[in-house]
A and B are shown apart, each in its own frame.
Chain A
Amino acid sequence: AQKITQTQPGMFVQEKEAVTLDCTYDTSDQSYGLFWYKQPSSGEMIFLIYQGSYDEQNATEGRYSLNFQKARKSANLVISASQLGDSAMYFCAMREGRGNTGFQKLVFGTGTRLLVSP
């Protein structure tokens, strides 16, 4: 079964608008971490934001925020005031376990391609 599900293969948004990229996850662990990465056309994976399962507040990093709904097992990425440079693939990922060596694997979703238009 998919551990990370991204149901939106592609999303379109106009410049300056906000956009939400969906991510749901499946785990039986109590302790886990959720990540979002951006992959521009150049190919490198850029870390955007992190949310720990015990964090009570939603994570924010500049224009990025993570809408964490633990009971629903969702971790949606919200990008405010979209810019042309936000056009890229976006991956949601989950790390299970408490960070012990050997349990640091990230499991990735299939990604969402975001296109920002002028």
Chain B
Amino acid sequence: DVKVTQSSRYLVKRTGEKVFLECVQDMDHENMFWYRQDPGLGLRLIYFSYDVKMKEKGDIPEGYSVSREKKERFSLILESASTNQTSMYLCASSSGGENYGYTFGSGTRLTVV
């Protein structure tokens, strides 16, 4: 069964902490994505990567960075967590085919206190 795995289901962090959210896929997909989901706003793209060491900003990159050192792993980094980054974070991957959607992980619910 193909999978996108996010390392944590729930996280609680303090304001100012550096936070790492990890995502691993086992489908050999080129493209990987990080979204955040907030009520009433749907899913908004933070960053994506279409190759190892490549990254592109999405719609809301401020306050975030990413790392993709290996094809299967895409990390989201909150350099200095703030309360307005409390959210559900969803990782996804895609093979790049036209009618392929994304395969999503189960999400990480991050609370910053």
Q: A residues touching B (Cβ–Cβ < 8 Å)?
A: 4, 9, 33, 35, 37, 42-45, 47, 50, 52, 91, 93, 95, 98-99, 101-102, 104-111
| B96 CB contacts on chain A under 8 angstroms | 99, 101, 104
* A112 to B: closest C-beta gap in Å: 10
Which residue in A44, A45, A93, A104 is a CB contact (below 8 Å) of B50? A104
Nearest chain-A residue to B51 (Cβ)? A101
CA of A9 to CA of B42, assembled, Å: 11
Q: B residues touching A (Cβ–Cβ < 8 Å)?
A: 30-31, 33, 35, 40-45, 48, 50-51, 56, 58, 88, 90, 92, 94, 96-99, 101-107, 109
Which residue in A33, A42, A107, A111 is a CB contact (below 8 Å) of B99? A33
Nearest chain-B residue to A45 (Cβ)? B104
Which residue in B30, B98, B107 is a CB contact (below 8 Å) of A44? B107
Nearest chain-A residue to B108 (Cβ)? A43
Nearest chain-A residue to B107 (Cβ)? A43
CA of A38 to CA of B50, assembled, Å: 25
* 7 A-B contact pairs sorted by A residue (CB < 8 Å): A43-B106, A50-B99, A52-B99, A106-B33, A106-B101, A106-B102, A110-B40
CA of A102 to CA of B54, assembled, Å: 10
| B97 CB contacts on chain A under 8 angstroms | 99
| A110 CB contacts on chain B under 8 angstroms | 40-42
| B42 CB contacts on chain A under 8 angstroms | 4, 91, 108-111
Nearest chain-A residue to B90 (Cβ)? A45
Contact A105 B98 (CB under 8 A): no
Contact B31 A104 (CB under 8 A): yes
Most chain B C-beta atoms within 10 Å of own C-beta, residue among A50, A95, A102: A102
Contact A101 B50 (CB under 8 A): yes
